[in-house]
Amino acid sequence: MFKKSNSSKRFFADAAFGVGVACIGGAFFFIPTLFTTEQNLIPINGKVQNVEAVYTQVSSQGHKSVKSELLLNLQDDNRVFKLAKNIEQSWNNEKYEQIEKELKKSGEATIWIKASAQFDLEPEVFQIANGKESILYDLSDVKSELYWLFPFFIIMGLFNLGIYFHHKFPEHFKTIFKIKTSENTVCN
């Protein structure tokens, strides 16, 4: 049928290399969050100055979706504590709205952030509790999407790098994986 030229094979192999490196790099971006433990966190206590669930329509390459954010400010603290999640086409994030309702009712909040981020203006939030110390958002909520995203990015990266190395070094690739070609096979 249609046979690809060497230049198009080289183009796709080089593209696979770029995608592979980007996927593995993206996976390592998640590591600090994924491997954070409660021992790495410090609590910030205070009275709630403002808490609000906000919805924004975002667009990426023609695909429109909705980003949900929970914005939280404490009195006498200039930091903005923010949770954000893409909720596709829904204009409702029940989890964030429930947190907003509980914090407004309580009037107090405890927010856990990394000790290394205590001077950041928008530190990453790992856990939220109301004034009664009822946990509203915890570490497992933060990590829930990363449990499958991290291995997915690693697998996709390795697959794409495999395509590149198979194209770039076909003989070495065959030797490593002991792939037999029709030239090495004898029919009886």
pLDDT, one tens digit per residue, over 100-157 is 999 999 999 999 999 888 899 999 899 999 877 788 988 888 777 777 888 899 999 9
Do 153 and 93 have their domain in common? no
Do 48 and 138 have their domain in common? yes
Do 132 and 153 have their domain in common? no
Q: Give residue 132's domain range.
A: 41-142
Q: For the whole model, what pTM was predicted?
A: 0.70
Structure tokens at 24: 């593995």
Q: What integer best gives the mean pLDDT of the chain?
A: 84
How many angstroms separate the CA atoms of 135 and 50, rounded? 19
User: In the predicted model, is pLDDT for residue 48 greater than 60?
Assistant: yes
Do 17 and 108 have their domain in common? no
pLDDT digits (tens, 9 = 90+) for 157-166: 999 998 898 8
How many angstroms separate the CA atoms of 21 and 15, rounded? 10
How many angstroms separate the CA atoms of 95 and 92, rounded? 9
Tokens 């205070």 — which residue? 46
Do 134 and 47 have their domain in common? yes
Give the count of beta carbons closer than 10 Å to the beta carbon of residue 151.
Answer: 11
Do 91 and 46 have their domain in common? yes
For residue 1, name the pLDDT band (cuts at 50, 70, 90). very low
Contact 64, 20 (CB under 8 A): no
Do 108 and 169 have their domain in common? no
Do 100 and 154 have their domain in common? no
**Residue 188 maps to a domain:** no
pLDDT digits (tens, 9 = 90+) for 21-32: 999 998 988 888
Do 17 and 73 have their domain in common? no
Do 52 and 112 have their domain in common? yes
How many angstroms separate the CA atoms of 43 and 129, rounded? 10
Do 93 and 132 have their domain in common? yes
Quote the number of domains for the chain: 2
In 3D, which of 89, 112, 102 has the Cα closest to residue 53? Answer: 102
